[in-house]
Each structure stands twice: as C-alpha cells, then as structure tokens.
Amino acid sequence: QKEVEQNSGPLSVPEGAIASLNCTYSDRGSQSFFWYRQYSGKSPELIMFIYSNGDKEDGRFTAQLNKASQYVSLLIRDSQPSDSATYLCAVRRTDSWGKFQFGAGTQVVVTP
C-alpha cells in the first residue's frame, strides 16, 4: 500500500463546476498536509496547506482534513480552464520533520 494515494484521473470537470479531489494516507503520525498544483513539464507550486481537522478556504480552493478517517480533500469552485493541471497531495510526518511523502497526483481537465 502506498503511503499517500490519489486517483490518477483524469478528472473531467465542466467550466464553472466544482472539482473534488481526494487523498488518503496510511500513516497516522502524519501531521501536515499540502496540495500542490503542477502544470505539465513545470515544477509543483503550493496551493494550500492544512493541519487541523475541518475545512480551510482560500479563494476558490477549500481543503478538508479528517485525521480519524485519514483523508484530505481539495475542492476547486468555479473551475476555470487554467485549473487544468495535476494536483499533488503531500503529507509530512511528525517524526520526520522536513520530509514530505507525495501522492502520484490527480490530473484535472476543465472543459469549456
């Protein structure tokens, strides 16, 4: 079992709709959770981080964390063609401060 799992997609989303991405992790010692966006051939860039249970909103993005169920999700509201990218979930463990474990990523395609 991979430590961090994501559906590879592609997730096809109509423009203006909500994209919902999920990420599950296996290590209960995980402490912080990050969502990165990566355009094809480019480097990952941070969208959001979350470390407390519940929701965290930033503009059109909402991260949701449920440590008991060991999942973290990302919602993209009012999806735009520029949101078409691969979204990487990253998890940091308490006992390995500074080391991240990345999921394989979910490809999102926003269709006009």
State yes or no: residue 54 binds another protein (CB under 8 A). no
d(CA 89, CA 86): 10
The structure tokens listed for 47 are: 């969208």
d(CA 65, CA 74): 9
The structure tokens listed for 31 are: 């402490």
State yes or no: residue 29 binds another protein (CB under 8 A). no
Strand 71-76 relative to strand 19-25, pairing: antiparallel
Q: Which residues between 55 and 84 bind another protein (CB under 8 A)?
A: none
- Kindly indicate which of the ranges 15-23, 41-49, 63-71, 72-80 contains the residues binding another protein, using the contact rule CB under 8 A: 41-49
What is the binding site for another protein (CB under 8 A)?
4, 8, 31-32, 34, 41-46, 49, 51, 88, 90, 92, 97-100, 102-105
